[in-house]
């Protein structure tokens, strides 16, 4: 029996450090926890040897503009003028990935059809390994 696709819950701190649930404003997102590798294969080997390097996190959130109190615009409007990281929590099917991340841009787009949307890329801030709990 096929399992129903679980909903995501996305909480991101505003500039004051208060977690805000912006799940209703987020239309799509992608996030990754990549591990780069270093090739350490000596000339005495017949197969590749690798080391896993530092863990990382990146995400891009795309949403519908909402300037209500404590909604997505309230969370991201200070991105161009402040430099603090944001606690970012993504909950999926009872699992939560929480990281400290920097939002690196707050892009707002108005389409020719009238909708106003935003995009916010984020990157790992504090060197803590992203871990699902």
Mean pLDDT across 4-28: 94
Mark 33-64 as b/e (b = at least 16 C-beta within 10 Å): beeeeeeeeeeeeeeeeeeeeeeebbbebbbe
Q: Is the pLDDT of residue 3 over 80?
A: no
Percentage of the chain modeled with pLDDT above 90: 92
Give, in order, the Cα–Cα distances in Å from 8 to each of 16, 37, 62, 70, 72: 24, 30, 13, 18, 15
Which pLDDT value is given to residue 1?
A: 63
The whole-chain average pLDDT of the chain stands at 95
Q: Is the pLDDT of residue 22 over 80?
A: yes
Mean pLDDT across 111-123: 96
Mean pLDDT across 78-88: 93
At 57, phi and psi to the nearest 5?
-150, 140
Indicate the pTM of the whole model.
Answer: 0.89
Which pLDDT value is given to residue 39?
A: 96
Summarised one tens digit per residue, pLDDT across range 38-76 is 999 999 999 999 999 999 999 999 999 999 999 999 999
Query: How many other β-carbons are positioned within 10 Å of the β-carbon of residue 86?
Result: 25
Mean pLDDT across 118-131: 96
């Amino acid at each position: 029996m096929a399992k129903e696709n679980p909903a995501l819950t996305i909480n991101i701190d505003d500039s004051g450090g208060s977690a805000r649930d912006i799940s209703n404003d987020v239309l799509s997102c992608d996030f990754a926890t990549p591990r780069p590798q270093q090739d350490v294969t000596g000339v005495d080997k017949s197969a590749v040897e690798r080391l896993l390097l530092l863990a990382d996190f990146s995400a891009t959130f795309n949403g519908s503009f909402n300037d209500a109190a404590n909604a997505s615009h309230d969370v991201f409007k200070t991105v161009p003028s402040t430099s603090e990281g944001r606690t970012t929590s993504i909950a999926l099917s009872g699992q939560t990935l929480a990281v400290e991340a920097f939002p690196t841009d707050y892009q707002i787009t108005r389409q020719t059809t009238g909708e106003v949307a935003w995009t916010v890329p984020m990157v790992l801030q504090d060197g803590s390994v992203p871990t699902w709990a």
